[in-house]
Amino acid sequence: MSRITITVNGTPQTREVEDRTLLVQFIREHLGLTGTHVGCDTTQCGACTIHLDGVAVKSCTVLAVAADGSKVTTIEGLAEGGKLHDVQQAFREHHGLQCGYCTPGMIMASVDMIRRHDGMLDEHTVRHELEGNICRCTGYHNIVKAVLDAAEKHRAAHAVAAE
């Protein structure tokens, strides 16, 4: 057992965990944040994608103890003051989901993607970079539209900020 502290969505969370505890178990079972999903549990589907120190990772393949001292953002941490994050809003407007199971991971991966590319994305890049997220409803078309829309909003917001 180890005593670890991980800052999740801005709040430091200290828990006693078994060393074999996965980060996704820490998030879901120890903190009760069940927005992060476990799909395949084999590092392929991306449903468990969260941000670990600012980058998208698959939380089913990280030990919680190895994330001691880190900052984690989950899907629950994106909205601010009751207002959806632009990427969440875009998924809603474009119906970027069918059953919704992959959606939290898709959104966390998309937020990371838009930030890394500073919103400069085209359809080919979005499809390529969502390689690590699987939608078994095969609802990719609207997901891609949602990411492109959110990327455009990101560019517009930053262009305004730059003026």
Partner 1 sequence: MYATTYHKPKTLAEAVELYANSDEPSYLSGGHTLIPTLKSRLAAPAHLIDVRSIPELSGIEVTAERVIIGSATKHAVVAASKEIKTAIPALSGLAGSIGDVQVRHMGTIGGSTANNDPAADYPAAVLALDAIVHTDRREIPATDYFQGLYTTALEPGEILVHVEFKIPDIAGYAKFRNPASRYAMAASFVAKHRDGHIRVAITGAGNEGVFRWTEAEALLTGNFSAEALDGLTMDPSRMMGDMHAPADYRAHLVAVMTRRAVQNLGGTHIL
Q: Give the integer Cα–Cα distance in Å for 107 and 111.
A: 6
Residue from 56, 87, 90, 146 in contact with partner 1 (CB under 8 A): 56
Least Å distance, CB 83 to partner 1, is: 27
Cβ contacts of 130 within 8 Å, gap of 6 or more: 106, 109, 110, 113, 140, 143, 144, 147
Residue from 112, 114, 135, 149 in contact with partner 1 (CB under 8 A): 112
Residue from 34, 41, 85, 142 in contact with partner 1 (CB under 8 A): 41
Show the DSSP H helices in the chain as ranges: 23-25, 86-93, 103-116, 123-129, 140-162
How many positions of this chain bind partner 1 (CB under 8 A)? 28
- Residue 104 touching partner 1 (CB under 8 A): no
Q: Which of 46-54, 75-83, 92-100, 144-152 is the region at the interface with partner 1 (rule: CB under 8 A)?
A: 46-54
